[in-house]
Structure 1
Amino acid sequence: MKEHMVNIPKTLESNADQDIPETRQALLTGERAEFFAHDRHYVDTIFDDGESPLKHAHNVMLESSSFKWKYPLWYCRNIDAKYCTWFEMARAGVWYTDHITVENSTIEAPKNFRRCHGVALRNVDFVNAEETLWACSDVTLDNVSAHGDYLAMNCADVKADNLRLVGNYPFDGARNVEISNSRLISKDCFWNCENVTVRDSFISGEYLAWNSRNVTFENCTIESLQGLCYVDNLVLRNCRLINTTLAFEYSSVDVDVHGTIDSVFNPASGVIRADAIGELTLDPERIDPSATTVITANVTER
């Protein structure tokens, strides 16, 4: 292990004006190899062959370093990781950790980030995002790509820009979510959610946003089979619905769509504006047709 002193960044919690130890080009092995580490900078360091190497760490910087075994960052706080790699066996990598920033890094392992607060991810690739970002709060995703099911279940206060997701069931049970400039290829996205706003994005997947409330799409292109159903207060502004059928069942809606909606099926109430609707179903045995106003290019129906 090679060690000398460096200056800790002002962003970390304590000892901001003091020199801190730097560990460089080390191979650290064994369970809890750096247990309770604090006020330390790791550079070009490999954590391998041992669980929980940085458990209970705080005020730690990681640069160009790698995790190769399970549970590397649990019960930590004030972690700054740049140009780092979580390899496939670094599973369940960051749990119960507060105030962590990860930049320009690759995370191959699944089940990362669980019950964390204050998570900032910038320029991060999740190779296997299965069951990642569960029950986290105060989350920022900036230029993040993810492949895997059940991303961000039960998260709160999430802001994402340029999120590129391929995976089903994301954001189930999430609340206070803002997404912009993103592409989501996902079935059952935004189920059981509250207070979701998506802007300038593309979403493709079946059964979009069921059983949610206060969901808004602005300037979005959406493809969905039987999507946007069972939503309380669904708003679409300046959107396009392509290859979208059986939309809005039992939803209260304020919809402004450019182009054609292939089919609308038993909305509960509200207003639907579109250039055209291929097939409109308002079944009086299921809903009150008079509660919904439908406005197309040449016809207004109640």
Structure 2
Amino acid sequence: MKRYEQQRFTGERALFMSRDLELDFCTFADGESPLKESRNLKITNSLFQWKYPLWYCDNVEVEDSTMFEMARAGIWYTNHISMKNITYEAPKGFRRCDDVVLENVSMVNAQETLWNCRNIKMKNITAKGDYFAMNCENMEIDGFTLVGNYSFDGCRNLTIRNAKMLSKDAFWNCENVTVYDSFISGEYFGWNAKNVTLVNCTVESLQGMCYMDNIVMKNCKLMNTDLSFEYSTVDAEIKSNIVSVKNPISGSIKAEHIDEIIFDDDQIDKTKTEIITEQ
């Protein structure tokens, strides 16, 4: 493999269509699309300071490197990419990528990041920004902290473990989602989603879990959650109080206590939902 070490690249398409390349302690300064259409790249200890650095690439490994704020829209239409120990400051990273592996990545400006991607594995990720991971498929996440609204809209086949999410409108329009051992705080959790399962989770959500088809909650807690489960089919085992439940369509809700149960829609048959409280 050809190797560049301690080099500074400038100008548009500085290393366009590179093949079998190693880059160590290199800087990509002003100049768009420096590695566009490249293949078989191994990049370490490097700095990306300008736009569109890794478009239409294939087989890319990046470690111990930094994506600066102006490396915006940095990784689009790229397949088989892994990134480890990365500070990722730029917004709009990752669009329409396939086979993405991220480990120990800090995304401090993750606005509109990870859109329309497939086959993603993430471990020990922190992110801040709205509209994270829209319309992605086949995601596995372990160790995740997010501050940002409208996350995971339209995702399919998603598993999350050990997460802390401060995210309004999380998991809207999703299908086949399982979340383990996590904390999620944000209004309107999960609307219009299908087949969502939460295990050992704590959720705080105004009007959470509404308009959902098959929301399952096992050994979960609901904090400050009112007007929950409206127009949803539900199987919920809640190890806490619920402020209020409103117009569930069918299923079972078990809780320590429910302050208020509301059935005010004449089209809802309340006998189709079993509601059990300990007190």
State the TM-score bracket (shorter-chain normalisation): over 0.9
For the residues of structure 2 that align with 1:235 and 1:283, how far apart are their CA atoms? 23
Per-residue CA deviations over 1:89-142 (Å, capped at 9, x if unaligned) read 001000000000000001100000000000000000001000000000000110
1:241-256 superposed matches below 5 A: 241-256=222-237
Q: Which runs of 5+ in 2 are unaligned?
A: none
Answering whether residue 255 of structure 2 is matched by residue 274 of structure 1, we say: yes
For the residues of structure 1 that align with 2:40 and 2:74, how far apart are their CA atoms? 17
Which residue number corresponds to residue 126 of structure 1?
A: 107
For the residues of structure 1 that align with 2:196 and 2:240, how far apart are their CA atoms? 21
For the residues of structure 2 that align with 1:286 and 1:91, how far apart are their CA atoms? 50
Q: 1:29 aligns with which of 1, 7, 10?
A: 10
Per-residue CA deviations over 1:31-64 (Å, capped at 9, x if unaligned) read 0000011111000000011000000011000000
Tell me the number of residue pairs that the alignment of Structure 1 and Structure 2 aligns: 279
Which residue number corresponds to residue 116 of structure 1?
A: 97
For the residues of structure 2 that align with 1:297 and 1:282, how far apart are their CA atoms? 20
Matched letter for residue 123 of structure 2? D
User: Is the Cα contact below 8 Å between 1:266 and 1:286 reproduced in 2?
Assistant: no
Which residue number corresponds to residue 105 of structure 1?
A: 86
Answering whether residue 53 of structure 2 is matched by residue 90 of structure 1, we say: no
Per-residue CA deviations over 1:4-39 (Å, capped at 9, x if unaligned) read xxxxxxxxxxxxxxxx12100000010000001111
The structure whose Rg is larger is 1
Answering whether residue 191 of structure 2 is matched by residue 231 of structure 1, we say: no
Instruction: Give the alignment's Cα RMSD to 1 decimal.
Output: 0.7
Shift of 1:243: 0.7
For the residues of structure 2 that align with 1:127 and 1:295, how far apart are their CA atoms? 43
Answering whether residue 30 of structure 2 is matched by residue 49 of structure 1, we say: yes
Which residue number corresponds to residue 59 of structure 2?
A: 78
Answering whether residue 121 of structure 2 is matched by residue 140 of structure 1, we say: yes
TM-score, structure 2 length as denominator?
0.99
Shift of 1:284: 4.8
User: Is the Cα contact below 8 Å between 1:232 and 1:251 reproduced in 2?
Assistant: yes
Shift of 1:285: 1.1
Shift of 1:193: 0.3
Which residue number corresponds to residue 171 of structure 1?
A: 152
Q: Matched residue of 1:290: which SS?
A: helix
Answering whether residue 185 of structure 2 is matched by residue 199 of structure 1, we say: no
Shift of 1:169: 0.2
